[in-house]
Structure 1
């Protein structure tokens, strides 16, 4: 009797499991058979291929850092950037960057500051905390506060997730963002392209200016350096520096910053000693 009862229970459990499986398969078949917006490839196929997918709209900080590391690796391995090996310069730039980053909107990110061997006046950043400063920009600055104002601006792009939004917009424009998300290899490729093209919108730039200025002040640097550096670059003859050529209306940015700085407090803070700065970057001169 007990054996018959056990067999009955087992058959009943089997039927329940089978009905449940059939329901799942039916639901999947209906979903996969329905056209999905921007679905270049189904998530089930990507799963079967073992491809890592990023949900860009819900990218976690850990995923952002992971993606940033891969973009950084590609930039270096492809020869797009050549990093400076000078230990003193690297430590100096990292010291400035870490001092500023603790006052950013996302101080918990593991920020990485790297010096690029390039005489063009440029700086850029990519997601996950990676900031790149060209040697040409370091030499163009008169003092530490001016350099710090640029570093703060780039940190602000990261802390406001501008690179992540650019990645999403580019993937949508290219039609490679599916309902499942964005394939890892393509995400890295787009990230590398964006790192140098810097397609920041006017709103992004103004936002990074405001956030960067606040960072600069909280870190104890003189806020006047932000405007001083922009004005100096704007006055340069010939082709505009790369740092400005990819940014909108420098004069508008300067006016917006001037509204945020009290003239009486503009020079209060550190980093305005030109001679001390020249001594710090002597190996580049």
Structure 2
């Protein structure tokens, strides 16, 4: 059976990498041909050289190991454009505004508060959240419904921000590029990087080290912001009892190991913060936003 999703993804990647640049080059050559030259003898190589000066660079190479903040944010924007072909972003302004407010409250206390975070809602009943690069965080409507209060939602967003702080996806992209042989000494083609990043964001095999690190970073941000530390633990415990393991926890280490690690971190750095534990108000908001 043909995997049409994979075929369409590869076709779009081919479009970005070859078709669009070739069209640009053709247009540029046409412009050069329409320009009067001093001599009647046409030097085709001169035309091609002029055309390549006019046309955009066919291959944009980036170094994942040395990304500037500006390049990382731009890469995140381009991945966001591609992701909209794979997931359905919510157009509910109230819902997006609410999640954005929670996210920005956390971002102000993040270890990478110098990047412009973008928080978006995905219309999907699966209990999941994910992040790409450059501050882009995505939360499924299914997860919003499962959370009991704002502090639990904040704990998930904080965890995903932890992945961004640790540049986990960037590192995985680099590893994938090297393993698949598409990375060169000069770097990685930007369109290939976008394709690899989107695939990893949606289907990435999360590593044990990355998940522990994201939990640790997320709990620190949650604590600094004044949210209840225990909300991160209660959210994971609640999901443990489900018959099917949510995507958010379908990883190693298991949820029980992560809960133990979080409890040890809380015991070593206790906080009196208890913001966001109002279950009634949160549920009322979510019902209003998601009728």
TM bracket, shorter-chain basis: 0.7 to 0.9
Residue 248 of structure 1: CA displacement?
2.6
State the Cα deviation string for residues 86-133 of structure 1 (Å, max 9, x = none).
111111000000110121111011100000000000000000110000
Is structure 2 residue 262 aligned with structure 1 residue 254? no
Partner-residue secondary structure (3-state), 2:265: coil
State the alpha-carbon separation in 2 of the partners of residues 281 and 266 from structure 1. 27
How many angstroms does 1:267 deviate by?
6.6
Q: Which residue of structure 1 lines up, in the alignment, with residue 83 of structure 2?
A: 75
The partner residue of 2:112 within 99, 106, 114 is 106
Which SS does the other structure have where 2:266 is aligned? coil
Q: Which runs of 5+ in 2 are unaligned?
A: 1-55
> Offset at 1:197?
1.1
Could you give the per-residue CA deviations for residues 52-88 of structure 1, whole angstroms, max 9, x where no partner exists? 1001111111111111111110010x2x110111111
* Residue 187 (structure 2) pairs with residue 195 (structure 1): no
Give the structure 1 partner of residue 97 of structure 2.
91
> CA RMSD for the aligned pairs?
1.7
Q: List, as ranges, runs of 4+ consecutive aligned residues in structure 1 with deviation greater than 6 Å.
A: none
- The offset of 1:263, in angstroms, is 9.8
Decide whether the 8 Å contact of 2:76 with 2:132 is kept in 1. Answer: yes
CA distance in 1, matches of 2:162, 2:88: 24
Q: 1:144 aligns with which of 133, 146, 150?
A: 150
Partner of 1:159: 165
- Which runs of structure 2 are paired with 1:8-19 in the superposition (5 Å)? none
Question: Is residue 63 of structure 2 the alignment partner of residue 58 of structure 1?
Answer: no
CA distance in 1, matches of 2:259, 2:181: 37
Show CA shifts across 1:193-224 (max 9, x none). Answer: 11101222111100110110010011110100
Confirm or deny: 8 A CA contact 2:223 2:273 kept in the other structure. Answer: no
User: Which residue of the partner structure matches residue 231 of structure 2?
Assistant: 225
**Which 10-residue stretch deviates more, 223-232 or 257-266?**
257-266
Cα displacement string for residues 231-255 of structure 1 (whole angstroms, at most 9, x for unaligned residues) = 0000112x21111113531111000
1:17-68: CA deviation from partner (whole Å, max 9, x where unpaired): xxxxxxxxxxxxxxxxxxxxxxxxxxxxxxx964110011111111111111
Counterpart secondary structure, 1:210: helix
Q: Is the CA contact (8 Å cut-off) linking 1:171 and 1:177 kept in structure 2?
A: yes
Matched, 1:275 2:280: yes
Compared CA separation, residues 272 and 194, structure 1 to 2 (3 A) = same
Higher-Rg member (1/2): 1
Larger relative CO (CA 8 A, sep 6+): 1 or 2?
1
SS at match of 2:186: coil
